[in-house]
A and B are shown apart, each in its own frame.
Chain A
Amino acid sequence: MADTRNKIIQIIATECEIDAAQIVPEASLDDLGISSVDLVQVMFQIEEEFDVYLADEEIGADTESVGQLLDAVEKLIAAKST
């Protein structure tokens, strides 16, 4: 799972042009300057990387922190592998 987290963080860092060191679970997307348009691109890249589909209720307007995003993607990947 640590590898998954690192990949997600790297996707966020690349798509949003943010230093990966700042992308910690407790950081809010707002504080990191990640806009809703950025989040769409992050979601798309995560879907491509992990071959999953993220539903609106999993990630969307209610996603406020990096931790929420990491948890949602990890849950999906775990469900996919079972």
Chain B
Amino acid sequence: MPAPYTLAAIADALGGTLVGDPTLVVQRLMHPLEANRPDDLIFVMAPELAERLGESPVRAAILAEGLEAPAGSLDACLTVPRARYALGLLLDLFERRPYCMPGIHPTAVVEPGAELGEGVCIGALAYIGPKARIGAGCVVLPQAYIGGEAVLGDDCLIYPGVRIGEQVEIGHRVIIHNNASIGSDGFSYVTPEQASFESAKSGGDQVSTKIRGLRRIASIGTVRIGDDVEIGACAAVDRSNIGTTRIGRGTKLDNHVQIGHNVTIGEDCLFSGQVAIAGSVKIGNRVVLAGKAAVADHLTVEDDVVAGAGSGIWRNTAAGQVVAGFPALPKTEALRQQIDFARLPRLLRDVAALKRQVAGLLQGRSE
């Protein structure tokens, strides 16, 4: 049910403690600094914003636990624990899904043999390939491409410009944002003899072999995306050479994430922008990779690993480790190296001073 909402309805959805008038009606959810109407609702998580509530025209606010509104500044106030979680629930109430005309737009192309479930919306200039199956309630926005024999579960939301390759399988309630590419070919090449990139792994500073002709390895496999996965704008998930590139249920990929061919990713993982996973990597469940973290090919990153921003994972990583740095190390060691590096100038000064003292002592002894 869209807005307006009473504060009682919002408290029912979010939990927490409501003080004041439960019948108060709010129309819009606004940022605290942008709210300008008495029927706006704001969500306050910062103490400095709570202190300024008296200056705002709003009559109702949701406050993170521990914050207080100035006396008399509100008619209704809902205090919630775990504020960011409550914010997620609240935004569900106010979210407006992108508009798409029900049915198939006259400029869309639906090839013979494609099956469209009940209530699907296919936007302008979208393409649905032969024998593709689109589940009930799916919204495919303008200019999206769904390849032949691809499968979408129910209630997926496919944003404009998304490309889903042939035979790719997408679960239920999957959201794929603008211009993401699912199922393009893997980055896979081979040379007739051992190439520089192979000998470099075990060799020294100079290559012992060279590249003499790169042969393409075709990608005849596919991609399978689990239920409730969300994939960010311009992300790319490559199809496998043989077999399946897999993304497990509930995993979320941010914008510009790259998933190489034959990768297996577990459930409920969270990869931030520009994370890059090279081919054939295995990633467990609930793994969190912060922005620009990268995993080299054929490695295993076990369950619950957390990698800091810019981490370069060059080795297998055991379950539950927190790693940081490039190359990635256990976080404590990475931080220790950081401080050791920062200490170097002072250490060099200290060593120079010691050398002068020792030289003075030796000179005194020789006289």
Query: Which residues does A use to contact B, with CB under 8 Å?
Result: 36-37, 39-40, 43-44, 47-48, 53, 56, 60-61
Contact = CB atoms under 8 A, between A and B. Distances in A.
Interface stretch (B157-165, B250-258, B336-344, B355-363): B336-344
A36 B335 contact: yes
A76 B342 CA distance: 20
Contact of B332 (A47, A53, A61): A61
A27 B175 CA distance: 43
A44 B339 contact: yes
B315 interface: no
B336 A48 contact: no
A43 B346 contact: no
| Closest 4 pairs between A and B when the two form their complex, measured CB to CB | A44-B342, A40-B335, A40-B339, A61-B332
A15 to B, nearest CB: 12
Main secondary structure of the interface of B (DSSP, over half): helix
Contacts of B339: 40, 43-44
B339 to A, nearest CB: 5
Interface of B: 331-332, 335-336, 338-339, 342-343, 346
A10 B263 CA distance: 49
Contacts of B335: 36-37, 39-40
B343 A53 contact: yes
B338 A40 contact: yes
Contacts of B343: 44, 47, 53
Contact of A56 (B331, B336, B342, B346): B336
A40 B335 CA distance: 7
Nearest to A45: B342
A47 B343 CA distance: 9
A36 B331 contact: yes
Nearest to B342: A44
10 contacts: A36-B331, A39-B335, A40-B335, A40-B338, A43-B339, A44-B343, A47-B343, A53-B343, A56-B336, A61-B332
A5 B202 CA distance: 52
B72 to A, nearest CB: 27
Nearest to B336: A56
A44 B346 CA distance: 11
Nearest to B322: A36
A76 B335 CA distance: 21
Contacts of B331: 36
A48 B332 contact: no
Contacts of A61: 332
Contacts of A44: 339, 342-343
B340 to A, nearest CB: 10
A50 to B, nearest CB: 12
A47 B338 contact: no
A37 B336 CA distance: 10
Contacts of A40: 335, 338-339, 342
A55 to B, nearest CB: 10
B338 A48 contact: no
Contacts of B338: 40
A34 B169 CA distance: 44
Contacts of A56: 332, 336
B336 A47 contact: no
